[in-house]
Amino acid sequence: MSAQIFSTRNRPFYVAAIPTKQLVQVAKAADLSDVPPTEPVSFKHQTAPQSLVNATASYQAVLDTIRNALINKKMGSTSI
């Protein structure tokens, strides 16, 4: 069970859960030089072919297609 600092009961859904006006602001950005570079995620487990992780590759491909908005570039014709 987690303790809730701010009540979100009467806040509109489009407003952040934490009142951002109460957050402390700093003058300069954080130093991110120690953050390691991102590495690609592998969805292949060669040792376990029945693993659910192997099925995630095709699911991720569908999500990538939706995100990249694969659309037909031709203009449609309308009859008014």
Rounded CA separation 80/7 (Å) = 53
Contact predicate 44/54, CB 8 Å: yes
Give the rounded percent of residues in the chain with a pLDDT score beyond 70: 70
Contact predicate 80/74, CB 8 Å: no
| Banded pLDDT at 36 (limits 50, 70, 90) | very high
Question: What pTM does this model have?
Answer: 0.32
Rounded CA separation 33/37 (Å) = 10
Which of the two residues, 75 and 31, has the higher pLDDT score?
Answer: 31
Helix runs in the chain, H state only: 52-67
> Taking residues 32-59, what's their average pLDDT?
83
Arithmetic mean of pLDDT over the chain:
77
Tokens for 75, please give them.
């203009």
